[in-house]
Amino acid sequence: MLTRSNNYSGLTTISDGILVVTQNNGLGNTTGGTTINGTNATLEFRGVNYAAAEAVTITTGNIRGSGVSTFAGGLTLNGSSIR
């Protein structure tokens, strides 16, 4: 669970499990982006206004929100699902 803002600049890859984000910029700065690539991989925004323009690419896996969440970044879908 990512509960604080940070300045990490690398690519974040989720290949299994659930990565929960509860804070804007929890995925780091926007230079690296985030990739979801795994049948059991999920990125979940939980009650967060994610204003950072983080690029997210989903090849296989899921992205979901719980509570009231918003996401300002670009989203590329390659055969995936949004819940």
Is residue 46 a part of any domain in this protein?
yes
Is residue 2 a part of any domain in this protein?
no
Q: Which domain holds residue 30?
A: 12-82
Is residue 1 a part of any domain in this protein?
no
Is residue 71 a part of any domain in this protein?
yes
What are 20-79's pLDDT values in tens digits? 999 999 999 888 899 999 999 999 999 999 998 999 999 999 999 888 999 898 888 886
Is residue 66 a part of any domain in this protein?
yes
Is residue 41 a part of any domain in this protein?
yes
Count up the domains in the chain and report the number.
Answer: 1
| The overall pTM is greater than 0.85 | yes
Asked if residues 43 and 59 have their Cβ atoms less than 8 Å apart, the reply is no
Is residue 55 a part of any domain in this protein?
yes
